[in-house]
Every structure is written in structure tokens, then in C-alpha cells.
Amino acid sequence: MTGTASGIGKTVFSAALTGALGAHYWKPVQVGSASGADRETVAQLSGPCAKQTLPETYRLSRLLSPHHAAEMEGVEIDPDRLALPDVRPLVIEGTGGVLTPITREVTCADIFAEWGLLTIIVSPTGRGSINESLLTIEALRARRVPIHGVAFVGEANGNTEATIAEMGQVRRLGRLPHLAALNAPALATAFAEAFCIDDFA
């Protein structure tokens, strides 16, 4: 799972998908953990799957790009340590966007290419999302990362969603609306109404 940028709803969508699939959740590289980790958010929002969240391989306190946070904290990130956990089903959340540097030589997209797993792009529906989504699609395809589809987050924007799906030649999986009350039951209901679980089998 990747997003077009940071802070666009990737973690909430990951929680919804984790709960719907009864999956394990893993975020291999976490930044900004001084103010909380995404694993904790997923544990709160994924319902019965809360105990299936896996620890991060790298957990960095500063809210910076992973390569920068690691340098500031005296940590050396070894991409070889980011091997896939031997559990299935597994929802993996990447850090930031696809070209976020994990080290000064390796991006998130490079790690996705190494794994060879189907990747979901989480995209907001607001201004700028067409450009960011199409750039994300190009970056993944350039590395031969298989794209499962795009999951939108935000208010309905049919033109934007259709344009991304058509121009990017990707499947539109559905759209998760913003929720007035964000909790596990409300998220599960919204996901069930907006997505077909068979699309994620």
C-alpha cells in the first residue's frame, strides 16, 4: 500500500482493509513516532485484528523522510532487513509517497519492486490528486511494480476519480469518505459500503 503523499489517509484505509480482511498489518519504516505510530492507530481502528499488528523494523522519532530521520538519529537503515514477514494475509503500509527515500540510494518504490507484491495506491480526491496519482503510477510502472488499483479517500469527485482511472489505466477500487466519528465500527461500515471485499481477495 502506498499513497500519493504523506497525510492523505493511507493509515486509515490500511486499518479498514486490515479489519475487513482479518489481516496482519506491518509498516516496516515508521517516522514521527515521537507523537505516536501508525501501528497504534491501526490497532485502534481495525477492530478484532488489533493484536495482529506487527512491530516496525525501523521506528524513528523525527517526522522527516526516513533517510534524513535515520541520519539525524544515528541509525543506519539496511534495506535487506525489510524482508517480508511470513504471515498472510498481510497489509503493508509504505512511508510517504513512492519516491520517499528510505536511504540515499533506495526509495519506497524500489522496496516494492523487490517484494513484487500487488500494490494499492491511496489517493485523495482533492486538488492536485490527478497529477500526483499519475506520477505515482508512472514511478511504480517504471520499476515493474504490479498495481492492484486505486483507493480514493475524501469527498466524492467523479471527474477526478474517473480521470485517474482512465489516464492511468488502473482499476478504481472505491472511495472511503471522511468520517465525522472515526472509530472501528464506523470505519468498518464505511469500508463495507464503499468497497467490494472480493476485489482484495
Indicate which residues carry an active-site annotation: 27
CA distance 1 to 120: 5
Cα separations (Å) of 188 from 37, 177, 182? 21, 12, 10
CA distance 50 to 84: 20
Nearest to 14 by CA among 158, 200, 155, 138: 200
Cβ neighbours around 41 below 10 Å, total: 17
| Backbone region of residue 7 per phi and psi (left: phi > 0; alpha: psi in -120 to 50; beta: other values) | left
Question: In the numeric block, which cell numbers belong to residue 87?
Answer: 504471515
Sign of the CA dihedral with 37 first, then 192, 7, and 94 last: positive
HSE, side-chain direction, 13 A CA sphere, residue 166: 6
Q: How far apart are the first and last CA of the chain?
A: 15
